Structure 1
Amino acid sequence: MQTSFTPEQLADPAIARANEILRACVHCGFCTATCPSYQVLGDELDSPRGRIYLIKEMLETGRPADARTAKHIDRCLGCLACMTTCPSGVDYMHLIDHARAHVERTYKRPAGERLLRFLLAKIVPYPRRFRLAMKGARLARPLAFAVPDDRLKAMLALAPAQLPKPSKNDRPQVFAPTGPRRYRVALQTGCAQKALDTDINDATIRLLRRLGCEVVILKLGCCGALSHHMGREGEAHAQAAANIRAYAAAGPLDAIVINTSGCGTTVKDYGGIFAGDPLEGQAAQVAALAKDITEFLETIGLPQGAPKGLRVAYHSACSLQHGQKVKTAPRALLAAAGFEVVEPADPHLCCGSAGTYNLLHPEIAGELKRRKIATLEATAPQIIAAGNIGCMMQIGSGTGVPVVHTVQLLDWATGGPKPHGLAALP
């Protein structure tokens, strides 16, 4: 793609990087075949290629974002499926990140939308606040019919019927391995996950300890993913910087284990996010240590399990398969543990969760959820497994098939307790 940035514009490292990405695009349109929002809406401007044209025009002119540009950029799920089919290697992830930050800086959204985004940024990354918000949403759910805003209705609908008690395992501490120590790892415990499903971290800690890991739980805040994806660059960088410093002070680590893949994609990009910053070196070290739990388990080995007689449909979270390129490890581990693993049709397509997307764009997210659940249920599973809490909540809100985290099944298969979500299974 031909661009016409001025030398003055290109003196800005962010614009220079955007220029490189834009010039790599050859307009082929292969990205449209894997773009969920384009498949639902059928609008060229809701495809990666269309958004690239909008971003190019917005950045070249140096103008503030307008309502039309903001709408189509906001509708991007950030699933990164387009990057898996792009023959030119266009770095769409960093381009859309830059565009979102530009929109957030230069476009004044309607008051209601500004308030909603502010509340999401100030509640979801903070487990105590999020827990209180979910309790309130649960109480207000019977009144959902009277709520005029579809986004507020979506929030009420996603509130779980029950919330677990806070887990003591999520507090800063060190868990010794149950046998000889082989590895020393830090576990990133997540934000929303600590409020919505404490079993995931508990299962991860049990499994890692059985495999010879000393598990370090640090005092961490949000990794910055949620604010980052909403274009709130300053907040995201401050949150990430605090975590980077905490990891740097933790002593030698063999890995930073992450069991919510949306966080993993962001942490693995810390080196790029802090490029040119004094923290760049430490950020790159943290990024290099970051491993999805299944990625780490595949490296250190998991005991082979006997057949369980249970059929598991594996849903591959976009942030895991596209963002981190971790595709085969979860399925291979589940199969090795003794489960019959099946995969739905179109596994590359998003379920519609995408961080806060299902709250900000409930109509599009709802259609993607309907399609994803249909393909999962078509495999006749007894269990649905996923590696990201957002996907689990999104899919679980529309199916009667129990949805659990991959690590919960692996923990159960190797001596841990049966996941609470599978109480009805034999």
Structure 2
Amino acid sequence: MQTNFTEEQLSDPLVARSNKILRACVHCGFCTATCPTYQVLGDELDSPRGRIYLIKDMLESGRDADEKTVKHLDRCLGCLSCMSTCPSGVDYMHLIDHARIHVEKTYRRPWQDRALRWMLAKVLPYQGRFRLALLGAKLARPFARFMPDARLRAMLEMAPKSIPSVSRNDQGQVFAPIGEKRARVAMMPGCAQRALNTDINDATIRLLRRAGCEVVIPEDFGCCGALTHHMGREEEALHSARATIRSFLAAGELDAIIINTSGCGTTIKDYGKIFAGDPMQPEAEQVARLTRDVTEFLDRHGLPEGQGEGLRVAYHSACSLQHGQQIKTTPKSLLTRAGFTVVEPENPHLCCGSAGTYNLLQPELSGELKRRKVATLEATSPQVIAAGNIGCMMQIGSGTGVPVVHTVELLDWASGGPKPRALAEA
């Protein structure tokens, strides 16, 4: 794609990077075939190629974002399926990130949108605030159908039936390995996940300890910055990311940093580029190099001995894992090695519609994507659905009666841990 940025514009590192990305696009349109929103809406402007044109025009002209551009960019899930498909290697992830930063700086949204986005940014990344919000949503959920705004209804309906108690395992401490020590790792406890499902971290710690790992839970850990980063709120995202980097570095010498929420993992692995040119770039790159998805680490390190129950598991590959981190077969192979029968739905590359805050900001589109994803998963006749991201688990779980668990919960169970709560209560 030909671009015409001025030398002055190209002096901005973000513009220079976006210029390089735009020039890589050859307009082939392969991305439209795998874009979830294009599949639903059929509008070229709701495909990666269409959005690339909108972004180019906005950035190249140096103009403020307008309503039309914002509408189509907001509809992008950021699932990155287009990047897995693109034959030219177009780095859409960093292009849409730049566009969202530009939108946040130059476009004044209607007050309802501003209020909702402010609330999400100030509540979801903070465990205590999120727990209070979930409690309020749980109490108000019977009145959801009377809410005129679909986004408010979506927020109320997201609240789980029960809110787990605070887990002591999520607080700063060190867990000794079971048996011979083979590695020293830090585990990111997450933010929203600690309020929604404490079983995931508990299972991860047990599994890693059985695999001979000393597990460090960093002190004073908050949000990694992924949520605000994808909303274009860059100052807030960088503030959270700096705190995350300091927490990991304070943990001492590590063999790996373990992430069990793939949306966070994709962002942390990108810290080196996010902090490009920043004084903290060397530390950011160090953390990014050490970061591993829990399945990625266990595949190299080795699973603890054990044998699963042979259940039929439909595996949902989170977009942030298969497209963002290009980890596609590893979780399935680990589940198979642990004794489970693994099946995969039709069109596994398509998003379930969760995508961070997308299901709250775009509930109609998200709901249609959820309906399609649940239908393909249930068509495999599973006894349980497994995923590697809490957002996907919540999204899919709200649309099916099949138990939905994290991949590590099944691996933990197969190697001597307790039966996953979702299965035990089914």
Q: Same fold (TM over 0.5)?
A: yes
Structure 2 residue 215 is the aligned partner of structure 1 residue 215 = yes
1:163-202 equivalent positions in 2, closer than 5 A: 163-202=163-202
Query: What does the per-residue CA deviation read over 1:31-90, in whole Å, with 9 as the maximum and x for residues that have no partner?
Result: 000000111111100000000000000001101000110111111000000001111100
* 2:68 is aligned with 1:44: no
What is the Cα-based RMSD across aligned positions, in Å?
Answer: 0.8
Q: Read off the aligned partner of 2:320 and give its amino acid letter.
A: S
Partner Cα separation in structure 1 for residue 145 and residue 260 of structure 2:
35
**How far, CA to CA, are the matches of 1:140 and 1:300 in structure 2?**
46
Q: 1:392 is aligned with what amino acid?
A: M
Q: Distance in 2 between matches of 1:410 and 1:251?
A: 28
Range that drifts further, 178-187 or 300-309: 300-309
Q: Write out aligned runs for 1:94-243 (5 A).
A: 94-218=94-218, 219-243=220-244
Q: How does 1:25-424 map to 2 (within 5 A)?
A: 25-218=25-218, 219-303=220-304, 305-306=306-307, 308-424=309-425
CA contact (8 A) 1:305 1:336 kept: no
Asked if the contact 1:304/1:338 (under 8 Å) is kept, the reply is: no
Deviations 1:291-318 (A, max 9, x none): 0000000011114544623100000000
Counterpart residue type for residue 258 of structure 2: V
CA contact (8 A) 1:303 1:337 kept: no
364-373 or 241-250: bigger deviation: 241-250
CA distance in 2, matches of 1:165, 1:244: 27
Between stretches 65-74 and 307-316, larger displacement belongs to 307-316
Between the aligned partners of 2:407 and 2:361, the Cα distance in structure 1 is 27
Provide the secondary structure at the position in 1 that maps to 2:323: helix
Q: Secondary structure at the match of 2:380?
A: coil
Structure 2 letter corresponding to 1:262: G
CA contact 2:34–2:81 (8 Å) conserved in 1: yes
The answer to whether the Cα contact below 8 Å between 1:267 and 1:290 also exists between their aligned partners in 2 is yes
Paired position in structure 2 for 1:14: 14
Distance 1:282 1:20 in 2: 26
CA distance in 2, matches of 1:324, 1:85: 14
What is the TM-score with the length of structure 1 in the denominator? 0.99
8 Å CA contact retained: 2:211, 2:304: no
Aligned to 1:323, what secondary structure does the other structure show?
coil
Number of positions where the alignment pairs a residue of Structure 1 with one of Structure 2: 425
Instruction: Structure 1 unaligned segments of length 5 or more: list them.
Output: none
Q: Determine the C-alpha separation between the residues in 2 that align with 1:303 and 1:256.
A: 19
- Matches of 1:379 and 1:14 in 2, distance apart? 44
Q: Is the 8 A contact 2:257 2:290 kept in 1?
A: yes
Question: Separation in 2 of the partners of 1:141 and 1:242?
Answer: 34
Partner of 2:98, secondary structure, is helix
| CA-CA distance at 1:245 after TM superposition | 1.6
Alpha carbons 2:308, 2:414 under 8 Å: kept: no
Structure 1 residue aligned with 2:2: 2
Following TM superposition, by how much is the alpha carbon of 1:249 offset from its aligned partner in structure 2, in angstroms? 2.1
C-alpha distance in 2 between matches for 1:409 and 1:307: 8
- 1:146: how far off? 1.3
Q: Is the partner of 1:216 in helix, strand or coil?
A: strand
The separation in 1 between residues aligned to 2:258 and 2:425, in whole angstroms, is 30
| Cα distance in structure 2, aligned partners of 1:165 and 1:419 | 16
In 2, Cα distance between equivalents of 1:418 and 1:125: 29
Deviations 1:125-160 (A, max 9, x none): 001110110110010011112110000001111111
| Rounded Cα–Cα distance in structure 2 between residues aligned with 1:147 and 1:261 | 32
Amino acid at match of 1:250: A
The normalised TM-score by structure 2 is 0.99
Q: Is the 8 A contact 2:207 2:304 kept in 1?
A: no
CA distance in structure 1 between the partners assigned to 2:308 and 2:393 by the alignment: 25
Q: Which runs of 4 or more aligned residues in structure 1 lie more than 4 Å from their structure 2 counterparts after TM superposition?
A: none
For residues 199 and 340 of structure 1, the distance between their equivalents in structure 2, rounded to whole angstroms, comes to 23
Q: What are the ranges of 5 or more consecutive residues in structure 2 without an aligned counterpart?
A: none
Residue 216 to residue 304, structure 1, CA distance change in 2 (3 Å): closer
SS in 2 for 1:185: strand
- Does the 8 Å contact 2:306/2:416 carry over to 1? no
Native 8 Å contact 1:203 1:411 kept in 2? yes
Q: Distance in 1 between matches of 2:184 and 2:259?
A: 14
How far did residue 6 of structure 1 move?
0.7
Describe the SS at the equivalent of 2:181.
Answer: coil
